[in-house]
Amino acid sequence: MTTFLLIHGSYQGGWIWKPVATRLRDAGHLVFAPSLDGCGERAFQARPGITTETQAEELAGFLWSEDLRDVVLVGASSGGMMLAKTAELARERISRLVFADALALKHGERIRDIVSGTGQVKAEHAAGPTREARLERFRLDMDEELAQWAADRSTIHPLGVSEEPVVLEKFWDQDWDAAVVFCRQAGKPGEAHQRRTAEGLNARWHELDTGHYPMLSMPDELTRIILEG
């Protein structure tokens, strides 16, 4: 049995991992897919001070409190940032990393310097695309029913995650057992960014012919990669 921690991206919650988590659990593995602070069903908790670092500290604290070891971290989209910071904070508990069409920033970079959004809704402490804009993105990858299901659950994202520079002073200098999954039909973060990740970590390279949400559009194929590395 392997322990997996699945980390979602912006405008998402743990719900987006449901198809993959179900497949991993059916295969006998222990799987956690939490919603990050201020995201998903916790969106009402959005407030000043939520950053990549605070979300990662929560995840690292969870690994400690549950005394989990040999954990495989899987991060999608901006969840790659939390993956890297969690791995840095809990190095002794991590066995393997999987970046699933994910952002992997260097120390001092900001997400808004790498990608920018359109159709923004901005609340006091969170921002993101309108529901209609999110629905159109989902429609590129999946059928109407699934796209509507995902759009209904998507939310705007805590501002600090995209606006504050990431703090990763040790991650890129360590050796990791890592894999990078590039989704060919996804416009962002793009192949060049993910090639940088793969080269920086000497990671295995995988490609899926789908858009930015492979956990929904190609759950069987993504689960296989996650299992095999």
| Confidence bin at 117 (pLDDT 50/70/90) | low
**pLDDT tens-digit profile of 165-218?**
999 999 999 999 999 999 999 988 899 999 999 999 999 999 999 999 999 999
Average pLDDT over residues 22-49: 96
| Confidence bin at 50 (pLDDT 50/70/90) | very high
Residue of 64, 100, 66, 95 whose CA lies nearest to 82: 100
pLDDT of residue 20: 98
Question: Above 80 in pLDDT, residue 116?
Answer: no
Q: What are the φ/ψ torsions at residue 218 (nearest 5 degrees)?
A: -140, 60
CATH 3.40.50.1820 fits 3-228, yes or no: yes
DSSP tally for the chain: helices H, then strands E: 10, 9
Question: Above 80 in pLDDT, residue 36?
Answer: yes
pTM listed for this prediction:
0.95
Q: Which residue has the higher pLDDT, 89 or 118?
A: 89
Contact by Cβ (8 Å): 155, 13? yes
**Local structure of 19: helix, strand or coil:** helix
How do the domains of the chain map onto residue ranges? 3-228
State the average pLDDT for the chain.
Answer: 94
What angle (nearest 5°) sits at the alpha carbon of residue 228, between those of residues 224 and 229? 110
